[in-house]
Structure 1
Amino acid sequence: MSQSIHADTVLGQLKLKVRDLQRSIRFYKEIIGFRVLREEAGIAHMTVNGKSTFLILEEVQDAAPVARRSTTGLYHFAILVPTREQLGLSLRKLAESGVQVGQGDHLVSEALYLSDPDHNGIEIYRDRPRSEWKKDAEGNYIMGTDPVDIKGLLELAGNKPWTGLSPETILGHIHLHVSELSASKTFYCDILGFDVVADVSKKMGAYFISAGGYHHHIGMNIWAGVGAPQPPANSTGLAFYTIVLPTEGELERILAQLGTSGIPFAQEADYWRVNDPSGIEIRLTIAA
């Protein structure tokens, strides 16, 4: 049995490729609530706290269009807001902006779903207290898709001013289209050390995995089809996402596991780069 990844492991910044940078900046700033930390040639760094990068947007001119659920890569990235009131404020802002929004009460959380101008999936959610999360007899977290209490969220928001995303907002989880579940589970769980917290592979073609008993840091599904191809290099979509490890020792342990498993990885300026079995780029870093 593999060693579980450190309980304090979290997700860090991610990068999206977009067709029109200024259009995407307006969307993520004026509708989602990010701020621009800095902008350079064809690239914008978006922040919630004014100090660190949460999201990188890179313009890809004449980007190849990719049909939904046709390739590996991003299903959605999930913005975790710190309070239910914050979720209500986001809901009100989305409604005022005329954005089409889906929703789901997952018992462990309440979530809103939408897409950016390039059809990158986004979830905005808030967690219920861990004391309210329940598991079934097999140890899987029980997660549903009940209707969200929209009225209650809007009542919480009331007439309070919307000032964008709270500085305490984080990347709560990421959900990926993968080409094959078994190989992905081996990579993420047996090699990196994430724990399976919801096995719905037979019912839904998906696994949900996490560090430290969270309801999930990573979701992986085969909803784009078994054997789904990687997207073209010049397409819009996910460029990479980051796994942040709490100690250098934990990073060294994972690099050793990758090496033993024959999985190539490379050191860059301040991170280590590796691709999962579906070709999705992951950056491994140590918490500041």
Structure 2
Amino acid sequence: MESTISPETTVGRVALRVNDLDRVRRFYETVVGLERLREDGETAVLGAGGVPLLELVADADAPVRRRTEAGLFHTAFLVPSRSAVADALVRIENDWELSGASDHRVSEALYLTDPEGNGVEIYRDRPREEWSVEEDGSVRMETLPLDIDELREQRTDAETVPSGTTVGHVHLEVSSLSAAREFYVETLGTRIRQRFGPSALFLATDDYHHHIGLNTWNDRTEPTAGRGLLWFELVVPDRAALDEARHRFAARGVETTSRENGFDVSDSDTINLRITVND
């Protein structure tokens, strides 16, 4: 289907509710390679090139996310070069543990888990002219082994991700793929870019391989409630796009909550989406 959200919409920030702010912040600084932009003891804001990408919100009493709860599968940080992925690999091998490394044909990705169980992906895109697009308009993605020995040779030993790093996509674990599709595709207006059988959808606002991933691989059955994803953000280009997005939710009876420069809305698993205007 054609996208009905503005194709200029991008992923903005991700916010995580954490028990141990200092420990989690150190992980994202020293292993992922984000820079600390500000911290007040309750919240730490991290980013790249001065642009905020991740907010960590301290909540010592937040319960550990149960195995049945929906929520975050991973936050995917998109770096602008293969050498930046190689540098991340070295930091992970030196200070943490790599949980996976994959060639997805459209991208090369490293996977790991933060100290409180939140999934993290660090990846770079291959040039779009190398992507394979199927007759139905979907983009071909696979999970193939990544040669990390060859990748490691590209390192420059940088301790931080470069300027231009963004949150490329957010991948969610949902309890119902059909309910999530109703929210993110039929209502929000994203475009399906790939289907993995009955268990996963990959969605984008334009012809990107995906800005939002949805899966039911781990049989989550309950709404999100504990530690982990607090909200994630989509940034629309102007007020007209913001008003149109809000109108689409209102037309389907989905409640939204106003905030400065945008609004918040919860999906079928109470995952909070923040839609913000870029002005």
Which residue identity is paired with 1:64? P
Q: Which residue of 2 aligns with 1:186?
A: 182
- So what's the TM-score if we normalise by structure 2? 0.95
Q: How does 1:99-114 map to 2 (within 5 A)?
A: 99-114=97-112
Deviations along 1:57-96, one digit per CA (max 9) or x if unpaired, are: 011113312244x211100010000001111111111111
Q: Which residue of 1 aligns with 2:239?
A: 248
Which residue identity is paired with 2:31? I
Q: State the 1:137 CA deviation.
A: 3.7
> Could you say what secondary structure the match of 1:17 adopts?
strand
2:13 matches 1:13:
yes
Assess if the C-alpha contact under 8 Å between 2:242 and 2:262 holds in 1. Answer: no
Assess if the C-alpha contact under 8 Å between 1:71 and 1:224 holds in 2. Answer: no
- So what's the TM-score if we normalise by structure 1? 0.92
Q: Which residue of 1 aligns with 2:264?
A: 273
Q: Which residue of 2 aligns with 1:220?
A: 214
Which residue identity is paired with 1:139? G
Q: State the 1:200 CA deviation.
A: 1.8
Assess if the C-alpha contact under 8 Å between 1:94 and 1:101 holds in 2. Answer: no
Which residue identity is paired with 1:56? E
Q: Distance in 1 between matches of 2:200 and 2:79?
A: 25
Q: State the 1:161 CA deviation.
A: 3.1
> Could you say what secondary structure the match of 2:24 adopts?
helix
Q: Distance in 2 between matches of 1:61 and 1:98?
A: 23
Assess if the C-alpha contact under 8 Å between 2:30 and 2:91 holds in 1. Answer: no
In structure 1, runs of 5+ residues without a counterpart are none
Q: Distance in 1 between matches of 2:104 and 2:222?
A: 30
2:254 matches 1:263:
yes
Q: Distance in 1 between matches of 2:175 and 2:43?
A: 29
Distance 1:98 1:242, change over 3 A: closer
Q: State the 1:55 CA deviation.
A: 0.5
Distance 1:3 1:169, change over 3 A: closer
Deviations along 1:75-121, one digit per CA (max 9) or x if unpaired, are: 00100000011111111111111423311110000000000000100
Q: How does 1:124-139 map to 2 (within 5 A)?
A: 124-139=122-137
> Could you say what secondary structure the match of 2:224 adopts?
coil
Q: Distance in 1 between matches of 2:222 and 2:197?
A: 20
Q: Distance in 1 between matches of 2:28 and 2:195?
A: 33
Q: Distance in 2 between matches of 1:22 and 1:258?
A: 37
> Greater CA deviation, 131-140 or 262-271?
131-140
Assess if the C-alpha contact under 8 Å between 1:110 and 1:126 holds in 2. Answer: yes
Deviations along 1:2-40, one digit per CA (max 9) or x if unpaired, are: 752211110001100111111111111111111111111
2:200 matches 1:206:
yes
Q: Distance in 1 between matches of 2:62 and 2:133?
A: 43
> Could you say what secondary structure the match of 2:75 adopts?
strand
Distance 1:102 1:194, change over 3 A: same
Which residue identity is paired with 1:179? S
Q: Distance in 1 between matches of 2:98 and 2:82?
A: 20
C-alpha RMSD of matched pairs (Å): 1.5
Q: Distance in 2 between matches of 1:59 and 1:178?
A: 24
Q: Which residue of 2 aligns with 1:152?
A: 150
2:170 matches 1:174:
yes
Q: State the 1:136 CA deviation.
A: 2.9
2:22 matches 1:22:
yes
Deviations along 1:119-144, one digit per CA (max 9) or x if unpaired, are: 10000000001111112343321111
2:217 matches 1:231:
no
Distance 1:253 1:231, change over 3 A: closer
> Could you say what secondary structure the match of 1:251 adopts?
helix
Task: State the identity as a percent.
Answer: 35
In structure 2, runs of 5+ residues without a counterpart are none
Which residue identity is paired with 2:167? L
Q: Of the candidates 257, 267, 274, which is equivalent to residue 283 of structure 1?
A: 274
2:27 matches 1:34:
no
Q: Distance in 2 between matches of 1:66 and 1:187?
A: 23
Q: Which residue of 1 aligns with 2:52?
A: 53
Q: Distance in 2 between matches of 1:143 and 1:100?
A: 22
